Structure 1
Amino acid sequence: MECAACGYAVFVNPRPTGTAIIFDDAGRFLVIRRARPPQQGWWDLPGGFCDGWEHPSDAAVREAREELGVEIDLGAFVGSWIGTYEFQDEPLPVLDCFWLARLAPGTTGITLDPAEGTEHAWVPLSDPPPLAFSTMESAIREVRQSSGRLVP
């Protein structure tokens, strides 16, 4: 896009995110119920937008700390997908990046940030709930179809 008044070029590039698909020892993954729009009330994966020059993998770790009160250990990179995030009724492009993860050794429990999530659950990979964003559905499908290539 270009400003009609001054000719300044504005690029509407996707904003990167980092998301962790956190597995437990039973092979279930963690979902949290969104506390705010967009998609309030839907199941979500812990993650969020990168800060400044932050790498998406670092954002995934930071977001788990902020949203869940836990440290995580990242595993394999699952993939990245272009998606849409509705912000103030404006559809914005995002580049959602996903990693497998586990809770760090010694983690004793999850403490949800009430501004981020209202509840959490561990769900089987074979029967995931509907998720807040299509890119999350794609990432879970990729893990499910990886035939063991992607393991937490």
Structure 2
Amino acid sequence: MAAGRYCPRCGGPTGELPAKCGACGYETYLNPRPTGTVVLLRGDGTFLAIRRAHPPREGWWDLPGGFCEGFEHPAEAAVREAREELGVEVELGEFAGMHIGVYEFQDEQLPVLEHFWVATIKAGHIALDPAEGSEYAWLPLDDPPEMAFPSMDVVLRNPVVRRSS
């Protein structure tokens, strides 16, 4: 079933989003899903990337991060995701940007509102979650590979990130 075809409240037909159900009047919108992501830097001009272990973009380099839970602030999500994916506690630094992106999920192109912070590891040793990544590497910020999502390519060129490295 494609998103927006049926009302989530009464099941009546609605058409594509945004939509107002003709049966019950419920309005449904396609809003971006917020994310929180860290750009972990070392003082040697490198950043930490994870090779994605699952679709979408399986096998591409990714930054540690993910979707916010219900009412979770994106900064809290960034810290939580780093802990879950890498097994480390991070300290957030400067906010490095917010971008609208696209995430493919269940054969749909979903809008995402991506939030990025410069960060450093403050406690722990990297223990990559194999469900999230097949490997990790410290890559050169001056010559990064193409990342899994275009917004990551943009944020790696951001002056906030460059001057923090």
Identify whether the pair has TM-score above 0.5, normalized to the shorter chain: yes
**Partner amino acid for 1:126?**
D
Partner SS, residue 66 of structure 1: helix
CA distance in 1, matches of 2:103, 2:159: 22
Indicate if the aligned counterparts of 2:47 and 2:140 stay in contact, CA closer than 8 A. Answer: yes
CA distance in 2, matches of 1:60, 1:7: 37
**Partner amino acid for 2:150?**
S
What is the Cα-based RMSD across aligned positions, in Å?
Answer: 1.5
Cα distance, 1:96 vs. partner? 0.3
CA distance in 1, matches of 2:68, 2:162: 30
CA distance in 2, matches of 1:22, 1:4: 49
- Percent identity (aligned): 59
Cα distance, 1:147 vs. partner? 6.4
- Select 1:42's aligned residue among 53, 56, 60: 60
Aligned to 2:51: 33
Cα distance, 1:4 vs. partner? 4.2
Aligned to 2:82: 64
Q: Write the mapping of 1:2-151 to structure 2, written as runs, cut at 5 A.
A: 2=19, 3-104=21-122, 106-107=123-124, 109-143=125-159, 148=163, 151=164
Deviation track 1:23-82 (CA, whole Å, cap 9, x = no partner) reads 112121000000000001100000000011111011000000000000001100001000
Instruction: Sort the Cα spacing of 1:131 and 1:89 in 2 relative to 1 into closer, same or farther, 3 A.
Output: same
Cα distance, 1:11 vs. partner? 1.3
Partner SS, residue 62 of structure 1: helix
Moved over 6 A (4+): none
CA distance in 1, matches of 2:46, 2:153: 15
**Would you say how many aligned residue pairs link Structure 1 and Structure 2?**
147
Instruction: Sort the Cα spacing of 1:143 and 1:36 in 2 relative to 1 into closer, same or farther, 3 A.
Output: farther
Partner SS, residue 157 of structure 2: helix
Deviation track 1:111-143 (CA, whole Å, cap 9, x = no partner) reads 111110000000111010110001111111214
Cα distance, 1:8 vs. partner? 1.5
Structure 1 unaligned spans of 5+: none
CA distance in 1, matches of 2:162, 2:131: 36
Which has the higher relative contact order, 1 or 2, with Cα contacts under 8 A spaced 6 or more apart? 1
CA distance in 2, matches of 1:15, 1:132: 17
CA distance in 2, matches of 1:132, 1:143: 20
